[in-house]
Amino acid sequence: MKILVINGPNLNMLGQREKEFYGEMTLEQINGEVKKVASELGFDVEFFQSNSEGAIIDTIQGSQNFSGIVINPGAYAHTSVAIHDALKVVKIPVIEVHMSNVFAREPFRHTIITGRAASAFIAGMGYKSYIAALYALKLLLT
Mean pLDDT of 28-35: 98
Look up the domain containing 17 and give its range: 2-141
Supply the pTM of this predicted model: 0.93
Once rounded to an integer, what is the mean pLDDT over residues 130-142?
97
Number of domains in the chain: 1
76-123 per-position pLDDT tens digit: 999 999 999 999 999 999 999 999 888 767 777 778 999 999 999 999
* Cα separation, 38 vs 45, whole angstroms: 7
- Which stretches of 8-43 are assigned E, i.e. beta strand? none
Write down the pLDDT at residue 104.
67
Q: What is the mean pLDDT of residues 5-33?
A: 88
Q: Which of 39, 66, 137 is nearest to 97 (CA)?
A: 137
Query: Apex CA 15: angle with CA 12 and CA 20, to 5°?
Result: 120
What CATH number does the domain containing 101 carry? 3.40.50.9100
Burial 70-85 (b: 16+ CB within 10 A, else e): bbbbbebbbebebbbe
Residues annotated as part of the active site: 22, 98
